[in-house]
Chain A
Amino acid sequence: MDAILLQILNGLDKGGAYALIALGLTLAFGTLGVVNFAHGALFMLGAFCAVTFNKLLSLEQVILDPIKKTAWGTPLEIRSPYIEAWLGDFGALLVDYSVPVSILVTIPIMLLVGVIMERGLIRHFYNRPHADQILVTFGLAIVLQEIIKHYFGANPIPQTAPSIVSGSANVGLWLGLGENLVYPWWRLVYFAFSAVVIFGVFAFLKFTTFGMVVRAGMFDRQTVGLLGINIQKKFTIVFGLAAVVAGVAGAMYTPILPPDYHIGMDFLVLSFVVVVVGGMGSLGGAVTAGFLLGMLQSFSSMNEIKSIFPGIDQIIIYLVAVVILLTMPRGLMGRKGVMED
């Protein structure tokens, strides 16, 4: 029982990340009809927004201690972040909370990146074949990750979660299942965060006028255009929104997995599978498939299952994707007429 519950929990945070990336991917696809292979790179950019923010906050000033000497006779160096010198305790708090706070920086940056990307590149590819879209965004993804590699190096850069949630939550005790079931706090936070973002996006599309226009545009772009609405402009903002979702997903994921320059590519392949399994252009499908596949993956990495099917944890997602695509051509919740010949 404990083991199964633990695997469900394990699946939640991974599934949250898959769902968030797939959500942005399918949002861009459903609105603009563009297959964006650079979406994983946006996830990576978001992660590096958090890294940069943390680096800026922890810039240190060095003061030479006038009295104390080190063992080598040189004056003792006192290093302290500027931010603490300026803002005192609040500064220290800021450094501690750098990952969640970095979202405030990530959102405008990613919005800008998304809008520039759509205006500068993607819009020229609406009428080109999907293969061309895949290829040009694949090129863009290479460019983005090489730029990051140039400035941040090839090694993963670990980030720390705020100290208050750095430990483990005693989930077993809450549910009355004993002390054995513990789970890192930050992963729970990440799951909650992804749920909030997903609900936020759905609420935005469901309950605002803007969202209504976008949904109408997804359904029938031409008619909406004929009604005198500049649907193109709205779709640009939606693309920016998709970039923001991917970016914050990346920024918050940094304490779980130290980001390096190809973290985006690793997630991209999986989240494409997620999108296709969920059904191209279906937001609900993307989220469902994200969590479903995340959990499947964590269940298949249980030792009991691995002993029956060795290596199943490595391929389960792809296997499920192939089976679903062959039996349900539109994925779990795909709409009729999207991406069909």
Chain B
Amino acid sequence: MNGNSARGDWLLLIIFAAVVLTAPFTLSYIGAGYPDLLQKFAIFGIFAIGFNILFGLTGYLSFGHAAFLGVGSYASVWMFKLFTMNVIPAVLFSVTIAGIFALMIGFVSLRRSGIYFSIITLAFAQMSYNLAYSVLSPITNGETGLQVRHLAPTDRGPDYVLKLVDEDLRWIDQAFGVVEDGIPITNLFGIKMSGFEGFYFCAVLLIIGFFISIRISRSNFGMMLRAIKSNQNRLNYTGINTRPYLLAAFVISGMYAGLAGSLLAVTDPLAGAERMQWTASGEVVLMTITGGAGTLIGPVLGATIIKYFENIFSAINEGILQNLFSFMPEGLMDIFVAVVGMFVGKGWHLTLGLLFMVIVIFLPGGLMEGVRRIGNLFRRSSKSAAPQPSSQAAE
């Protein structure tokens, strides 16, 4: 990675920004050019970048990162309810809250390493999830999820109708006399944060997040984190206290998760406890590993691929399959439809699990390692000179 000059990093950032900002046009060719999905790409890209700062650089596998995502969502929705539908305060508040939350959890759980660390983070995430469902219902609205405005009967009379009620205060908006009809939509100084505008808001934050992750990765701080991954004992013996560095990485990564959670609430103003479940934590692990832990692009790539295939695969139903295999004789077609049908539609998670196993078994460095291997293959065949240093920071 020392071979990378600062110019290379700027080039990477510019290419990345260009790819992200043109995504609505380029991705429309593969059927992913619509805002909902693009927003998900960007949001989970941020989540995975943040997770990678902890897992990719230090090797500490947190199984409770979804807790920060959930906290971020709740914090944002409360900002929408209490103050304003403008997204800036909500995002800032969410990142702060998630950071404080991560500081508390990290302070405790970083006292252990390896599997113990994974279990403690998992335990904290499960505690948050269980509490959000039960005792904290006044804050989280339990199973229904926290919403900005909700359907409720207007009168308890015999012919009451369900109507949108706004029990929210929105002090700032009301001071400025902003009137909301129907379900209020989040905005950035008047620009509605839905559709492509929402995507571009997420995309800009993704690019900023990516930029910060490059800077961290190239800094002395990032070097220290990598040193922790390769041999923490040696660092301790040389008299370096590694815990502040780990805690800083944990908090930064928690703040990224909080930002992602906040953006989930920005694009769709509601928050539910299921975002904190440990399977959600597992999902970000899947994304990071699939793309390539420890690389810069990998996590975003992994998040995009998983969300893309989730969308494509789960939309395929039996009818589409029958059309696809309609050239076959009747009996054969039924068999194909039945077999392929296991892997698509509701069975999408089966494909995900298999894909993930294949990657962990054969490509532990994720897709980025695959790219690098193919690249090496070409380079070797073109000129059989001395082995090239790897261009990515893949471990």
A265 proximity list for chain B (CB < 8 A): 279
A135 to B281, CA, bound (A): 12
B342 proximity list for chain A (CB < 8 A): 147, 150
Stretch of B187-195, B303-311, B355-363 that contacts chain A:
B355-363
- Main SS class of interface, B: helix
Distance between A179 CB and nearest chain B CB, rounded to angstroms: 33
B320 touches A (CB below 8 Å): no
Do A143 and B357 touch (CB < 8 A)? yes
User: What count of chain B residues pass the 8 Å CB interface test?
Assistant: 44
> Which residues of B in the span 217-243 have a Cβ within 8 Å of any Cβ on A?
232-233
- B270-301 vs A, CB cutoff 8 Å, 1 = contact: the mask equals 00000000110010010001000000000000
Give the residue name and chain of the B residue nearest to A275 (CB).
B119
Do A314 and B134 touch (CB < 8 A)? yes
Given contacts A140-B353, A147-B350, A273-B123, is CB(A135)–CB(B285) below 8 Å?
yes
> Which of A35, A150, A280 lies in contact with B350, CB distance below 8 A?
A150
> Which residues of A in the span 106-142 have a Cβ within 8 Å of any Cβ on B?
121, 124, 128, 130-132, 134-136, 138-142
Given contacts A139-B353, A142-B353, A314-B134, is CB(A280)–CB(B115) below 8 Å?
yes
A35 to B113, CA, bound (A): 15
Chain A interface category by residue count: 35 or more
Distance between A53 CB and nearest chain B CB, rounded to angstroms: 23
Do B123 and A318 touch (CB < 8 A)? yes
A314 proximity list for chain B (CB < 8 A): 127, 130-131, 133-135
> Which of A130, A149, A315 lies in contact with B114, CB distance below 8 A?
A130
Given contacts A146-B349, A269-B278, is CB(A35)–CB(B127) below 8 Å?
no
Do A272 and B135 touch (CB < 8 A)? no
A339 touches B (CB below 8 Å): yes
Q: Which among A35, A124, A315 has the highest number of chain B CB atoms within 10 Å?
A: A315
> Which residues of A in the span 304-330 have a Cβ within 8 Å of any Cβ on B?
310-311, 314-315, 318-319, 321-322, 325-326, 329
Do A341 and B114 touch (CB < 8 A)? yes
Do B350 and A143 touch (CB < 8 A)? yes
> Which residues of B in the span 103-141 have a Cβ within 8 Å of any Cβ on A?
108-109, 111-116, 118-120, 122-124, 126-127, 130-131, 133-136
A315 to B124, CA, bound (A): 9
A35 proximity list for chain B (CB < 8 A): 115
Residues of A bordering B, CB below 8 Å: 35, 121, 124, 128, 130-132, 134-136, 138-143, 146-147, 149-150, 265, 269, 272-273, 276, 280, 310-311, 314-315, 318-319, 321-322, 325-326, 329, 339, 341
**Contacts beyond the supplied A136-B360, A139-B357, A315-B131: 18 A-B pairs with Cβ under 8 Å:** A35-B115, A132-B364, A135-B285, A139-B353, A140-B357, A141-B353, A142-B349, A142-B353, A143-B357, A146-B349, A146-B353, A150-B342, A273-B119, A276-B119, A314-B133, A314-B135, A326-B108, A339-B116
Would you mind naming 28 contact pairs between A and B with Cβ atoms under 8 Å apart? Answer: A124-B361, A128-B364, A131-B61, A134-B61, A135-B356, A136-B357, A136-B361, A138-B282, A139-B357, A142-B350, A142-B353, A142-B356, A143-B354, A146-B349, A147-B342, A265-B279, A276-B119, A311-B134, A315-B126, A322-B109, A322-B120, A322-B123, A322-B124, A325-B116, A326-B111, A329-B116, A339-B114, A341-B113
